[in-house]
Structure 1
Amino acid sequence: MTSTATSAATAAPLKIGVIIGSVRTGRFADKVARWFLSQIGGRDDMEVHVIDLSEPALVEELKLTLDAHEPQPGALTLAQRIAGLDGFVVITPEYNHGYPASLKLAIDYVYSEWRAKPVGFVSYGGMVGGQRAVEQLRQVFAELHAVTLRDTVSFHMAWEKFDEQGRPDDADGVAKAATVLLDQLAWWGLTLREGRAARPYDG
């Protein structure tokens, strides 16, 4: 076993935030998120932390930012949650060739806490499976000094791709895509965590 492999095998699990970007009532994101969490939940090299932007506490916090107010004292803010994580997977729909306003607000509300951390994407939508939203998000995260992963998981015509139990039609194909994404996330997450520890990133 190489030294890199040995390091990976003995390292503490990466703390990965799974960010659910849609806040719409009746959103399709719940089906996609449940499926993805079942994929990442089976890994022993990752500790999953769900950040659902529809959580009442997060909705209230982000609403306060629009009014130029501060979160309630003692509350664990979104920035604090992001700061404690090693990497992220963003689950996003595509709305009118873009990503949700709720996701943009949440990303912009946090700043240095994103730096030198990997970000992967699971997208869904119509004919292009949310990829236009992902391409826009790559530009946003690049500005924040985050590293976006090349490979994604996308669901084209998503509402036709899941059965009533929330299982994707092409279960094997999308599971393989998720494995590729998560393997890349593990490599980048470990590499950047070690890099931040050895040489704090100041941008």
Structure 2
Amino acid sequence: MIQTGAAAALHVAVIIGSTREGRVGDSVGRWLMARIRRRAEIEPTTIDLADFEFPFHYPCEPTEQMLDLTARIGVAEAFVIVTPVYNRSFPASLKQAIDYAYDEWRAKPVGIVAYGYRSEGLYAMEHLRTVFGELHTAMMRSNVSIDLLDGGFEETHRSRDAEGLGLQVESLLDQLTWWGLALRDGRAARPYVS
């Protein structure tokens, strides 16, 4: 059970949005989790959408997997979405998962770590901002953009860009923690009104 109050660590869910075979998202997610675990004020967990089997058609009654995902989103106090760019947007697997929850997202902060070739994930970020705005989340100003053009993620995060990526992550986590703790207090003081 997650503690509440000022002393409790912020429960942050890192959601890996790609489910493709051969994806980079799991590598990016592990790298991000290693950086997050350095912070005592954050209690991270990973939600990898590749671990779920969702129905192709939206059923009248939610499946156990849908309920499990929604419950995990409900327990989290903040989120970091790890996503690629697919055709100038984010993957359908991520949109499907986002849509399974509604109230569970509200009044919680969301940051994005996006990757792609040349675009550095920016197209996915912009579309996610719109979707999460509709869900009444607080979108972080600082996010992480990764360009895979120079040989893939493993090379990118070890290259000259590694320091820049590290600074992006720290800025994102600083903002996410501030908003997460402030919104925790806000939700405890009064119910969110949409």
**What is the TM-score when the length of structure 2 is the normalising length?**
0.90
Q: 1:113 aligns with which of 104, 122, 128?
A: 104
- Alignment size in residue pairs: 189
SS at match of 1:23: coil
- Higher Cα Rg, which structure: 1
Which stretch of structure 1 is more off in the superposition, 180-189 or 63-72? 63-72
Q: Which runs of 5+ in 2 are unaligned?
A: none
C-alpha contact 1:124 1:158 (8 A) present in aligned 2: no
Q: What SS does structure 2 have at the residue aligned with 1:63?
A: coil
In the alignment, structure 1 residue 49 sits paired with structure 2 residue 45: yes
1:14-60: CA deviation from partner (whole Å, max 9, x where unpaired):
000000000001111122111111110111000011000000xx22x
Partner of 2:58: 66
Residues 64 and 70 of structure 1 are in contact (CA less than 8 Å); yes or no, is this contact kept in structure 2? no
Partner of 1:5: none
Q: Does the 8 Å contact 2:90/2:124 carry over to 1? A: yes
* Alpha-carbon separation, structure 2, partners of 1:49 and 1:144: 21
Amino-acid identity (%): 47
Corresponding letter in the other structure for 1:122: V
Instruction: Identify the residue that residue 70 of structure 2 maps to in structure 1.
Output: 79
The correspondence for 1:20, drawn from 16, 20, 23, is 16
Q: Which runs of 5+ in 1 are unaligned?
A: 1-7
Contact 2:10 2:41 in 1 (8 A): yes
How far is the alpha carbon of 1:178 from its aligned partner? 0.4
Partner SS for 2:50? coil
Q: Give 1:155 deviation, angstroms.
A: 0.6
- CA-to-aligned-CA distance 1:148-203 (integer Å, 9 cap, x gap): 10111111135625346x84312221111100000000000000000000011131
**2: CA distance between counterparts of 1:29 and 1:18?**
11
* Residue aligned with 2:153, SS: coil
Show the counterpart of 1:168. 158
Provide the rounded CA distance (Å) in 2 between the counterparts of 1:105 and 1:144: 14
Distance 1:36 1:183 in 2: 14
Cα gap change, 1:185 to 1:158, in 2 (>3 Å) = farther
Letter in 2 for 1:81: R
Q: CA RMSD in A?
A: 2.1
Partner SS state of residue 55, structure 2: helix
Deviation at 1:119, TM superposition (A): 0.1
